[in-house]
Amino acid sequence: MIYISNDTNLAKIKCGHPAIPLNARVSLSSPGLNPGTVASYQCDEGYETFGNTEISCSPSGKWIGELPFCGTNIAYRKPANQSTTVRGGSALNANDGEKSTDHDGKRCSETQKEASPWWQVDLLQAYAVKVVRVTTRGCCGHQPLQDLEIRVGNSSSDLQRNPLCAWFPGTIGVYTVFFHFEINT
């Protein structure tokens, strides 16, 4: 069976201009905003992309996908500590801006194998925390991150007093995980 329609409304379906997050710019795969158009986002200089970098115009005329967040790394080179340190894996290595997952040059933080290892950073002032990025290396026969808790708050002496913002049950392999939420510290 073939269905033929002279409904001209089908040809007029378009998406509106896509939203542009703060500190970002967008480029379109085609200027017509027709279904199938892809909007690609790039953060302004000095900002990092957290989340997706593309959304697409659906056949129904709506954008599909979550907008990225363009922000700065507020933990960059702030005071950090952890439960224990081994193999030169200082807590400061976790927020030094180095994105390598190679630990040979003592570039990652590392704790001893223990029941409840932890890492923390002091942001030195209150911030609205929107995203936490965790990158693991999962190499060299070392214990991967498991059952990860993300807590954001003002208690540095009793970490359990800080609100639980995210929970990752299971094992984080060799990749980066983004935890999205909004907490004012």
Query: Among the listed ranges 17-26, 45-54, 66-75, 128-137, which one has the minimum average pLDDT value?
Result: 128-137
Q: Which residue has the higher pLDDT, 58 or 110?
A: 58
- CATH code, residues 80-184: 2.60.120.260
Please give the share of the chain, as a percent, with pLDDT higher than 90: 38
Q: Which residue has the higher pLDDT, 177 or 16?
A: 16
Cα 167 from chain centroid (whole Å)? 14
Domain ranges of the chain: 15-71, 80-184
0.85 surpassed by pTM: no
**Under 8 Å between Cβ of 21 and 65:** no
Report the first-to-last Cα separation within the chain, whole angstroms: 62
What integer is the mean pLDDT of 167-183?
79
123-154 burial code (b ≥16 CB/10 A, e <16): eeeeeebeebebbbbeeeeeeebeebebbbbe
Strand 176-184, strand 128-135: pairing = antiparallel
Mean pLDDT of the chain: 85
Q: How confident is the model at residue 105 (pLDDT cuts 50, 70, 90)?
A: low
Q: Just give the CATH number of 15-71.
A: 2.10.70.10
Q: Which amino acid is at 8?
A: T
DSSP strand pairing (164-172 vs 145-151): antiparallel
**pLDDT tens track for 34-75:** 999 999 999 999 998 888 899 999 999 999 999 988 999 999
CA distance 69 to 71: 6
Residue 164 main-chain phi, psi, to 5 deg? -75, 115
